[in-house]
Every structure is written in C-alpha cells, then in structure tokens.
Structure 1
Amino acid sequence: MAEPRFLSLLPVRLAVQADRSALGELDRATWSTLHAVQPRPQPPYGPFFDERHRPEEFLVAVAVTDAGEEHIAGYLRLAPATPLACNAHVRQIQGLAVAEWARGHGIARALLRASYAEARRQGAGRLTLRVLGHNTPARELYAAEGFAVEGVLPGEFFLNGRYADDVLMGRSLMS
C-alpha cells in the first residue's frame, strides 16, 4: 500500500477494538532505537490490545488523506502511573507514535493536548512520562508542552552498544 498523503486531522478520540490491526501496524512501523527499549517486534505478532493494554488507554489521531480516506496517523497511551490508590491522581504517557507520512503536521502535539483533557476527565492532576536521553526531538516537544525534567537515571539502558539515560518528566494539570 502506498503511504497516504496527509490532508487534515479529525478530533483525537479514544481507541476502539476495531483499531487494533492499524495500531499494531503503526507500532511496528514506528519502532526505533531512538525511543524503544524493547527489541524490534518479530512475527508472529501478538495482539496490540490485551489485559494490560486496553483500548480505552489509547488516544488515536485519525487523518483524512488527499484521497478522502481516514487513516490512523498516531496514538498515545495514557495509563495510571501505578496501581496504588495513593498515586491515583497521576497518569503516565506510556507510548506515543506518529506515522512517518503524518509527521510535521502537529499530530504529536494534538495527542499530548488531548491527553491533558482525558487525564483531567479521569480525575488526574499530574501527568508524567519517561523518555530516553538521546531522544532530543521528543524531549524538546515535551518541554515546549510544559513538561519539566524531574529526574534522570544515568545509563539506565544499554542500547546499540551504548548506555542511555532514562529521563523522567512531568507536569501539573492544575490550571
């Protein structure tokens, strides 16, 4: 299939079970050592959704292409940071991906902003995430969106023959 040409973005929405194949394909297509600590997925591929990764934890950006078709252009996983009741006010971004053909159109920013509203709707007052130290584009986007570095775990991962820092970022949702 030829890559679609981006035309416009529909409102970000929660994922549904029917999105599973497209999200799995997007997840595999966007895998990169820039952000992944898990090995590259290999066939046979497991299900995108499972007991620990439910559709309602995923925000989906759908783009309309020049052919008038709708394609999933990106996703963001928003989940509780921990299962602890004392931490229930925190949501964590546990994945963000944008299709190569859809990059440069503000989709990651739209997903982030939709996550603030969804996290607030769920009663959260704080949002956190983890990003690899060498992922400069993501770190710059998060900083521009109000996230601050709250901690660094130096050399936490050994990827491609090099140590990589795990950068902890967060922001308040109060205001």
Structure 2
Amino acid sequence: MLHAVTIRAAVPADGVPLAELDRRIWSPLHAVSPRPRPPYRPLFDATHPPRQHLIAELDGRIAGYIRVVPPTPLASNAHVRQIQGLAVDNWARGRGVARALLRSAMDASRRQGAVRITLRVLSHNVPARALYASEGFAVEGVLPGEFLLEGEYIDDVLMGRSLAGLTP
C-alpha cells in the first residue's frame, strides 16, 4: 500500500541519518566530490544547519531531503533562493519524494519572500533535469566542462524559475 510523502523541517538529530543516506546514494551522476570515506561526519555543521533542510518521510522513514539557501548574503540578492542539495534514498525512488521536496521548497521559499529559485545540476543527470523542467525550471546557463568526473568533462547546468503564482 502506498502512503503519502510528508515533509517536515529538519532537526539536529537528522544529521547522522542524512549523512548515511548521502553515503548510500553517492553516484558520479550527481556528486562532484569523491565518494565519502571514513571518518564520516553528520550532514549538519556550522555552514549547513538543520534550518536549511526539509525532510521527506515515507512510511515513517526518512526518504530524502532538500537544502535551500539564499545564494549570497547580499541584500540585493535576498529575493532568490538556491537549491544546494536534493537527495532521495534508493528504496523511495519513483514514489514522488523528489517532486514533493521540490514543491515544498518552492512553497517555503515563496513564504520567505523569495520571488525566484535557482539550482545547478550536472548535464548528464537526465532524470534530475527532467524533474526540474517538469516543475517549471528552465536552463539559464551552462558552464561547459566545469567538472572532471571519472575522466570525463561534465557541464554544470544552471536552472531557475519564477516563484510568482505559487500558492503558499
């Protein structure tokens, strides 16, 4: 039986389970840093606090998370939010978790006064790019060969969308 995805704010105790999730799903499809190695650290630290994260739960288990932040500390950029991480556990894929997280992040950003949201995605991550496009994100720029991953140069794709018209 399928259950609805629930979204909640992250709490400090989520740091270790989210770091474990990141290690389980690591892939060069979406990761630009090397595979995590011990000693492992919790996901949260001084620059990545819980308040920047939303958690998806499915069947009472953490299924994924999204991290959304102001892209800079500048007042002139305060109307924008940037997605700097979206992860879904392998067992929860194909159940609407990423879409629910993305929509919740857009709604929360709009409630915070943002009128625009952006993200960066690797060009070879076709499933993620399709999800973002289906939610109204458009390609706004490409950084050719920005990352060297497993011997191949991969473009970094900048995507964004307006938050106008979303209901809080």
* TM-score for both structures, normalised by structure 1: 0.91
Partner of 1:42: 37
- The letter of the residue matching 1:17 is P
State which of 65, 74, 82 in structure 2 corresponds to 1:84. Answer: 74
Question: What's the Cα RMSD here?
Answer: 1.1
Aligned-partner Cα distance in 2 for 1:9–1:22: 21
Q: Is residue 2:150 matched to residue 1:160?
A: yes
Q: Contact 2:5/2:96 (CA < 8 Å) preserved in 1?
A: no
Q: Is residue 2:131 matched to residue 1:136?
A: no
Identity between Structure 1 and Structure 2 (%): 65
Aligned-partner Cα distance in 1 for 2:151–2:5: 41
- The letter of the residue matching 2:95 is H
Q: Contact 1:9/1:61 (CA < 8 Å) preserved in 2?
A: no
Q: Contact 2:64/2:97 (CA < 8 Å) preserved in 1?
A: yes
Aligned-partner Cα distance in 1 for 2:42–2:55: 17
The 5-angstrom pairing of residues 1-175 of structure 1 reads: 7-64=2-59, 70-175=60-165
Alpha-carbon offset, residue 84 of structure 1: 1.2
Alpha-carbon offset, residue 7 of structure 1: 3.9
Alpha-carbon offset, residue 116 of structure 1: 0.8
Moved more, 38-47 or 160-169: 38-47
- The letter of the residue matching 1:151 is G
Alpha-carbon offset, residue 9 of structure 1: 3.2
Alpha-carbon offset, residue 72 of structure 1: 0.3
Q: Which 5+ residue runs of structure 1 have no aligned equivalent?
A: 1-5, 65-69
- The letter of the residue matching 1:28 is R
- The letter of the residue matching 1:13 is R
Q: Which 5+ residue runs of structure 2 have no aligned equivalent?
A: none
* Segments of 4+ moved more than 4 angstroms: none
Aligned-partner Cα distance in 1 for 2:96–2:5: 12
- The letter of the residue matching 2:23 is R
Alpha-carbon offset, residue 59 of structure 1: 0.7
* TM-score for both structures, normalised by structure 2: 0.95
